[in-house]
Every structure is written in C-alpha cells, then in structure tokens.
Amino acid sequence: MFLNRMGRPEDLWTQAEDVSLRPLPANTHIHLPPNFSAFERVSQAVQLASEQGVRVLGAGNYYDFTVYEEFSRLCLEAGIFPFFSTELIAFEPEMAEQKIRVNDPGNPGKIYLCGKGITQFSPFSAEAAEQMAAIRRNDGARMKAMIETMSEQFKNAGYPVKLDEQAVIDRVVKRHGSAPQTVTLQERHIAQAFQEVLFEMVSVEQRSDALSAVYNCSSKAGADDVVGTQNDIRSFLMKAGKPCFVPESFGRLCEAKTLIDRLGGIACYPILADGAAALCEYETPVEELIERLKENGFAMAEFIPVRNRPDALAAYATALRKAGIVLTAGTEHNTLDLISLTPVCVDGSPIPAELNDWFWEGVCVVAAHQYLCAHGQTGFVDAHGRPNPDWPGDEERIDAFARLGQVVLNAFFDKD
C-alpha cells in the first residue's frame, strides 16, 4: 500500500510537532460502482474529482471492496489522496417498536454507520470475512424477496415487469462493467430496474396513470423524471409499512461496530439533522444525540451537507465538535444526480467557513489513522474501537492526529 512508502511513523511524528493545518478541497464519502452511484465508472469519479480540484477523496462502499484497488491506483495517478471506508446498516428492533427514527427518516430503528480509514480488508481477517459473508447473505435474501414482491405488485396493477434477482444484477453489471460477484444489490438498484422497465413498457403520456395504479395513490414525479420516479418507488412501495417492504435482517449496532473494528476503521455516525422533513427522534435535541454517540463509542460524525441548511449544519457541527467528536463531510453521490464533488449545503449554499476548518481537521485525523494502521500501529482508535490510550483527553488526541495527518498529506502532495 502507498502509505507504507511515506516514511517512518517516528519521523512523521517529529515533523508534526511544528506543522499547521492547511485546508484543501476534500470529500470523505462517495459511493463507487457497483454500489448504486451517480458514476458509471470509477474512472469517472476520479476524473471529475481531479477536474474539480478535490485533493482528498473517500469511498465508502457497502460489503465489497474489490473496487478499491482500481480506486487507489487511479487516485494516485491523479495526485488525489484516497480514503478507504465502508458504510454499514444496523437495526435495533426496540427502537423500531418505539417508532424511534435514527438517521433513516422512513424506517424506525434502522441505523446507517460508517467505518473511516479501514485498512484490514485485503485480505479480510477470518472473523471479518465470516461476518461480511453473513451480512451479504442476509441482505441478498431480503433483496431477492423484495424483487419478487415488487414484481407481484406491478403485475397486479396491470404492468407485468419481468424482473428477478439475476436480471437486476445483470443490469448493474451492464451499466458499470463490474464483476457479478462484487455486486451487492441495494434498494436503489431495484427501484432503478423497475423504473427503467416500466418506462420502456409505457409511453410518457400514460406513465403517471401507470405509476399511480402501482402505488395505489397519485404519482409525485413527472412522467419523464427518472430520479424522482425511482425515489417514489422506494417511498411508496419499499419503505416500512408499504406494500413491498420486506423486514430488515441487519445485525445490531454493536455487531456492525465490531465489524468496523475488525476492518481497522473509526466508527463514524452519519448525521441527518434537517435532511429529513422532521428531525429524527434519535438526533434531537443535539445534546442528547451527543450523549448517545458517546455511549455507543462513536468518536467521529459525518455530514452530507447538501441535505442541510447552513444554520442547521452549523448548529449541529458546533455542538458536536465542542463535545470532542471529530467531523467530516461528503456528498455520497448515491443517486443518479451528478452533483459537484465539493460539499455544499442545500440549494448550493456554501458551507460556513469555520466548519470547513473542522471538516479538514477530520480529514487529517482519518489520514493519520489510516497511515498508522498501515504501519501496524494503533491509530486514532485501537483494534477494539477504544480511544488511543497514549493521549489522556479528546482534544489532545484530536490535535495530535490532525497534525500528524497534515504531515502525511504534505508528504503525499509534495511527492507529486
């Protein structure tokens, strides 16, 4: 790995004593194909990042990291520092029973979480491989059942869409050129496949009526709105309480966090905040969110600012960072909308300047963690997700790792 060629940790720690942070454009969270993605190829993502001046780019794929070899190679060729991360889904049935939404506004009890700066994925440890295989197996069974239920729903509405699990996988393979065994189907893949086939079957003039018949309610998206229709399919058919919903078989939060530990990453909580029409119960008030995150061992939180108004983003970010939680920011790019790779707030409003300094600090912390773990040393958290014991407090540890990460990034960029 390129991190092993960037000098000895003891030398870089010495340089970190006098370094200052120098923020650069960064994006710590995108999805690459064959995950559902705005990008048709990995090369497209890296090329756009280079054209848009992004210097640090983080991929956070679900359940298969084969694509990271190509991602790393292309980033290095483009002079972009690559982050390797993952996104996982957990489910807490008690929260679901109490109707507590965490960071999925449509599914109580469902939790998205990330592992930042993973390095133990090529190869997996035996424990991580077993856990990952179980997740893929359970998730695959759910996707298969959902496709079958969706097919029945469309057929009963008078629109026999002939799709099965393999047909949906084949569409992903055709679009991205991915190896079939690397494809982990997501709800968005299914929604896209059904939208595409229906649009092929039904003329523009008849689509609204057709979709309303499938949904059993009025269609919201325009007759030629591809992304809007895919979102409606998920909202009207696939979410909890809807006719094609299949109960999640995800593991508990503690199990997902254990997998992040086994992958060598930092557990990171993705903040939704005002990205939902009504704030999720788990995330409000922010003071109680902070307590919950600390109780569950989250040392880091991430924003997808394009969901948030600047004032809401600032309120959450300020409270979290003052509580000793490191912050990062990304764009996801997990719809077909090919938005800018530079994070911005909703409607294109710029991120408040003071927040960008915190987001860059988070970039540096992840860079340092990834670098130290690649050298076989303890990173920002240890192998059990606990704070590195060499620093007595959150602020001392954050400051030390941010400065080391800046040195790592300086070494990378100076080399180019």
Contact 383, 377 (CB under 8 A): no
Instruction: Please tell me which residue, 106 or 67, carries the higher pLDDT value.
Output: 67
Give me the percent of the chain exceeding a pLDDT of 70: 100
**Predicted confidence band at 311 (pLDDT cuts at 50, 70, 90)?**
very high
Dump pLDDT digits (tens) for 30-85. 999 999 999 999 999 999 999 999 999 999 999 999 999 999 999 999 999 999 99
**What is the pLDDT at residue 163?**
96
**What is the pLDDT at residue 392?**
86
**What is the pLDDT at residue 408?**
98
Look up tokens 């788990």; give the residue: 282
**What is the pLDDT at residue 78?**
98
**Predicted confidence band at 267 (pLDDT cuts at 50, 70, 90)?**
very high
Contact 57, 81 (CB under 8 A): yes
CA–CA distance, 413 with 416 (Å, rounded to integer): 5
**What is the pLDDT at residue 253?**
97
**Predicted confidence band at 272 (pLDDT cuts at 50, 70, 90)?**
very high
Average pLDDT over residues 305-309: 97
Sort strands 26-30 and 300-303 into parallel, antiparallel or unpaired: unpaired
**What is the pLDDT at residue 263?**
97
The 10 Å Cβ neighbour count of residue 269 is 25
**What is the pLDDT at residue 94?**
96
Identify any residues that bridge with 359 across adjacent strands, giving them in sequence order.
none
What is the CATH architecture of 2-8+26-124+264-376+390-415? Alpha-Beta Barrel (3.20)
Q: Rounded to whole angstroms, what are the CA distances from 203 to 198, 199, 405? A: 9, 7, 54
Whether 415 has a pLDDT exceeding 80, the answer reads: no
**Predicted confidence band at 2 (pLDDT cuts at 50, 70, 90)?**
confident
Q: Rounded to whole angstroms, what are the CA distances from 188 to 181, 204, 233? A: 18, 22, 9
pTM of the model: 0.94
Look up tokens 């090329």; give the residue: 47
Helix axes 9-16, 394-415, angle to 10 degrees: 110
The 10 Å Cβ neighbour count of residue 93 is 12
Cis peptide before 105 (omega within 30 of 0): no
Dump pLDDT digits (tens) for 135-175. 999 999 999 999 999 999 999 999 999 899 999 999 999 99
Mean pLDDT of all residues belonging to the chain: 95
First-last CA distance in the chain? 16
**What is the pLDDT at residue 205?**
95
Give the SS3 label for residue 406. Answer: helix
Domain edges within the chain: 2-8+26-124+264-376+390-415, 137-238
Strand order in the sheet with 266-271: 26-30, 56-61, 81-91, 110-116, 266-271, 300-303, 326-329
Rg, the chain, Cα only: 21
Rounded (10°) CA dihedral 308, 100, 292, 355: 0
Give the SS3 label for residue 81. Answer: strand
Whether 416 has a pLDDT exceeding 70, the answer reads: no
**What is the pLDDT at residue 1?**
74
Whether 365 has a pLDDT exceeding 70, the answer reads: yes
- Residues 6+ away with beta carbon under 8 Å from 353: none
Contact 1, 374 (CB under 8 A): yes
The 10 Å Cβ neighbour count of residue 124 is 17
> What would the two tokens of residue 112 be?
């998205």
What number of residues does the chain have?
A: 416
**Predicted confidence band at 220 (pLDDT cuts at 50, 70, 90)?**
confident
Dump pLDDT digits (tens) for 179-202. 999 999 999 999 999 999 999 999
**What is the pLDDT at residue 256?**
97
Handedness of CA 51, 54, 60, 66 (dihedral sign): positive
Q: How many helices (H) and strands (E) does the chain have?
A: 14, 7
